[in-house]
Structure 1
């Protein structure tokens, strides 16, 4: 019980920074200080302000003959917004129904204030003489991509975890074992996000890991992290608990089944986890901040899931649950197909087979 509480509380504390997770696409501010793109970014920021590195392109669409008036009105409205450094004069197309103007924010491309400005400009749509307003440019595109990936994260996680829950329920013929497996995975992922936020967004231990510039977490990292780590976590889970299930089905008491299954699988899982941690940690030495963050996230995720969740939480919970861990409602037991991973049905068939049957003869011949 003590080991379980320490592990759960520890991962929970590490997961707290996840509440401040800010996703974004990379810009030149996150490049290594000695690269040309970073030097150019710093020179432009020093000479013209951070927002000069991420201008916003605003398109104003209005009926021909009214677009100039509408564009001037939109430009005036944008100048009155917060975090606006400059707004250029509108440039009209040849048809006279569309105007483009450039907005220079005060904040940098990856700052939260720039995202707020993009939303504020889009809220002006339809307020200027019925004109339609659109915001584009690399900075706005990156903000939209981050928002899309962030919105897809919960459905993606629900589908992955839900399908895995069903498969684990089929394999282990239990409700509590899949629940424990999925909750353990979610806990390790939350702790991983917390560690990533603390290092690459807040700057904790940044000097130790060689992180030169903190900022938003790359938008695709959560999707990649969940996909890879979930596969590894379920491998470790199935490898450990399958042996426990085999021992229990073959008559071993629940506590002894956990000890036997853990004893057979712990060293293999630990060795596999150490290999994966070593491989992923090698990417932390890369000068690029994106590669560094991906390597750190994958390495720490395997550390949390394999060595804390699977090596500590899983056997502790299985021991505490005892026989209850393998409970499955009768109606659900009848409804689910019996995969029989342990081969228990085959063993009963061999035991019940007559001595003269081909099955029993083959058994004696092999003996």
Structure 2
């Protein structure tokens, strides 16, 4: 790091020119990337996804898209069997199909009493649209911004018999949270930048507060070059381009904070000019490198998952992390070499006092914090990753009224999760339909013979389950249907694809965790020259992440205070993609703080030989830094959570609250308490391990380690000073 800083400061013009060219190149990279980004969520290899793709390719509707249900209650004395009513409904449903391009099936098409209730006075239809990007929503006559429920109502209502009532329900009309059309990244970036300036002003109390922000603004366009390179081998999803700026702003400011803070300390010691930069780079710069590697590992571990969206997020997050570290270690030294600080970064009295308190009461504080986190982790075991059930969805509005009308008529709510079955050419759809009608849990099977259901020799069937797919009984029905169909017949549907997603993604999760643990252990063992500190760091991170999932369950499944805090009604489930992405983002960010603090503790231990002094000085000098970094990242994700989009709000609140939880209970309590409890064992590195890690025991990159048998003065907590003999590698 010191050699790098000397090179940078010795070639100022070259560094500036390269940085400007890369930043400008990032703007060009964005122009190249935008036309190529993917808007669809593809899951190649998943049986449910492949079935849905066959359905969409052949019929253009249905598949993954959930049905809308127009529910009609006829006036007293009228039933669906009346000729006039039947004719009116046939005309109305035909108009719905013509106006929306949707595929419609009802009692008048099938004669199946499963589409009726209350003796035929109430009836419903299934309306299957296509994906928005394929024109599956209403045509131009109804306006491109009209929802399918609005279009169905407009097409059907004028053709109903006098006195009939109409509501359009379905999982989508019942969904909570607004569809805002995605994140308004520019507005959220401005909000986040404004809040970051306030936090940086609180930390530095001078114009120096703008330096980390400038570093971040250079790093963001540079990261787009990495994305462009990654696009050669990985499909980049549009979600990545919306999340990377908000995530990158926070991580880049984090890295700049640690280097600027350390530079101020060196200036306060009387070190002037470039030498202060070199010393800061030799210590804080090294921490930035290891932190960047740890964050990158956490994100890139998602590459083991066979989901393109998750892989896109992985490379996007890793690209902005790498760019942030690179700009911090090259451009920032140039800025600092010409800066003149006001004041100095010293140990904060409040944080030093807190560290002493934690060291003194380390066991009860560690037990209390670990107990709370363990309790939240136990709550996380009840996480629900399935489809929402109607009881947890909208409690007012036309969708809810339609649902109530179905229930009042004695119709089960399972048809809201109806799904398509693709019958290939050469297979008798009538025989398949008869087989499926006999499957326990199936309410009805629709098998129309019109052109919307028969094409190119294939056929579509629609299964109406008695129970919603979000319930255990509904999921069992899906499994029984898949087991009952003959070979070559593909079972599609929203629920089917989601079940496959859960199986594949979370089946691969142990492999992702194993990759993370091994790589993180190696990186941190080399960083801190210890075997126990990496194990402790991994254990604390897993405990922290388990607690975050518990908080998500409380907020979004149990709904405790969610509407009051965010103004969004939770729907009783956690999005299938949320736990894995929250885990990947938080694992890296949590390790980020771990590296910052432990690097300082290790440095202080090498200087003093006292674990207690290392804990107190380490927390005292990094407490404000970690707090500021956590606040800035929290603001980045909080700005995402306030947009009204339910899935985005769940993910962003998970990462944002996880950052706060990690910066408080983990880094402010458990980390210093456990380091104090472990004492000299923190720094244990036997010679055989050092050889495997290819560490030169007589040369440390900022840490001084020996491999001899010697007498060491050790400070064991509050027990005073003692002497021990030790062998192998140890902190000197």
Q: TM-score, normalised by structure 2?
A: 0.42
Residue in structure 2 matched with residue 350 of structure 1 by the alignment: none
2:545·2:658 contact (CA, 8 Å) conserved in 1?
A: yes
Counterparts in 2 of 1:149 and 1:25: CA distance versus 1, 3 Å: farther
SS of match in other structure, 2:489? strand
Partners of 2:480 and 2:629 lie apart in 1 by: 50
SS of match in other structure, 1:76? helix
Structure 2 gaps of 5+ residues are: 1-362, 706-732
Counterparts in 2 of 1:112 and 1:287: CA distance versus 1, 3 Å: farther
Aligned match for 1:88, one of 440, 446, 462: 446
1:237 CA displacement: 0.6
1:84 CA displacement: 2.2
How many residues end up aligned between the 2 structures? 332
Q: How does 1:143-222 map to 2 (within 5 A)?
A: 143-209=499-565, 210-222=567-579
1:50 CA displacement: 3.7
Partners of 1:234 and 1:253 lie apart in 2 by: 24
Residue in structure 2 matched with residue 228 of structure 1 by the alignment: 585
Q: How does 1:195-344 map to 2 (within 5 A)?
A: 195-209=551-565, 210-338=567-695, 340-342=700-702, 344=704
Residue in structure 2 matched with residue 363 of structure 1 by the alignment: none
SS of match in other structure, 1:59? strand
Cα deviation per residue 1:238-295 (whole Å; 9 max; x = unaligned)? Answer: 1101111112223431221221112111121122112322332344433222122122
Counterparts in 2 of 1:94 and 1:52: CA distance versus 1, 3 Å: closer
Cα deviation per residue 1:44-74 (whole Å; 9 max; x = unaligned)? Answer: 6744754333321123458x4xx33xx4443
1:4 CA displacement: 0.3
SS of match in other structure, 1:215? coil
Cα deviation per residue 1:147-187 (whole Å; 9 max; x = unaligned)? Answer: 32222333223222321111001111111100110000000
Counterparts in 2 of 1:235 and 1:341: CA distance versus 1, 3 Å: farther
Residue in structure 1 matched with residue 416 of structure 2 by the alignment: 53
The structure where helix makes up a greater share of residues is 1
Aligned match for 2:475, one of 106, 109, 115: 115
Partners of 1:73 and 1:202 lie apart in 2 by: 44
Partners of 1:313 and 1:252 lie apart in 2 by: 22
Partners of 1:112 and 1:203 lie apart in 2 by: 21
1:25·1:146 contact (CA, 8 Å) conserved in 2?
A: no
Partners of 2:404 and 2:525 lie apart in 1 by: 56
Counterparts in 2 of 1:21 and 1:42: CA distance versus 1, 3 Å: farther
After TM superposition, the structure 1 stretch with the greater mean CA deviation from structure 2, 210-219 or 168-177, is 210-219
Partners of 2:525 and 2:405 lie apart in 1 by: 59
Residue in structure 2 matched with residue 134 of structure 1 by the alignment: 490
1:2 aligns with 2:358: no
Q: How does 1:12-31 map to 2 (within 5 A)?
A: 12-24=374-386
Cα deviation per residue 1:81-102 (whole Å; 9 max; x = unaligned)? Answer: 3432211137585776x54311
After TM superposition, the structure 1 stretch with the greater mean CA deviation from structure 2, 185-194 or 80-89, is 80-89
Residue in structure 2 matched with residue 357 of structure 1 by the alignment: none
Counterparts in 2 of 1:115 and 1:319: CA distance versus 1, 3 Å: same
Cα deviation per residue 1:292-326 (whole Å; 9 max; x = unaligned)? Answer: 21222112211221211111111111111111111
Q: TM-score, normalised by structure 1?
A: 0.80
Partners of 1:8 and 1:267 lie apart in 2 by: 23
